[in-house]
Amino acid sequence: MCQTCFEGLVKSIIALNKGEARQRRGIAQSFPVLSLEQVYGAIAFYLANHSGIDTYLTKAEVSFESLRQAATILKRD
C-alpha cells in the first residue's frame, strides 16, 4: 500500500476512534483495495499502537510544512 493511502486510512481510523467518521464499512468502501477484514486489522493495529502512529503522523506533517515553506521561499527568489 502506498504511503499516502496508508496515511489516509490511518486518519480515517483516528477519526472513527474519535467518533467523527464513517462506519467501518464506509472506510472499507473508501479504500476498495482493502477487504473488510484488512480494515478491521488496521483498526486493531492502530488501537494497539496509536501513540507511535500519532507521533509519526505529527512528525510527517511538521516535515511537510517545513518543506512547503522552503519551496515557497525558493519560488519567491
CA distance 31 to 37: 12
What is the DSSP secondary-structure string of 24-69?
A: HHHHHHHSTTS-HHHHHHHHHHHHHHHHHHHHHHHHHHHHHHHHHH
Q: For residue range 50-67, list pLDDT tens digits in order.
A: 899 889 888 988 998 999
Q: What is the pLDDT of residue 29?
A: 80
Residues of the chain with pLDDT under 50: 20-21
Q: What is the pLDDT of residue 23?
A: 65
Q: What is the pLDDT of residue 22?
A: 52
CA distance 7 to 9: 5
Q: Do 36 and 68 touch, CB atoms closer than 8 A?
A: no
pTM over 0.75: no
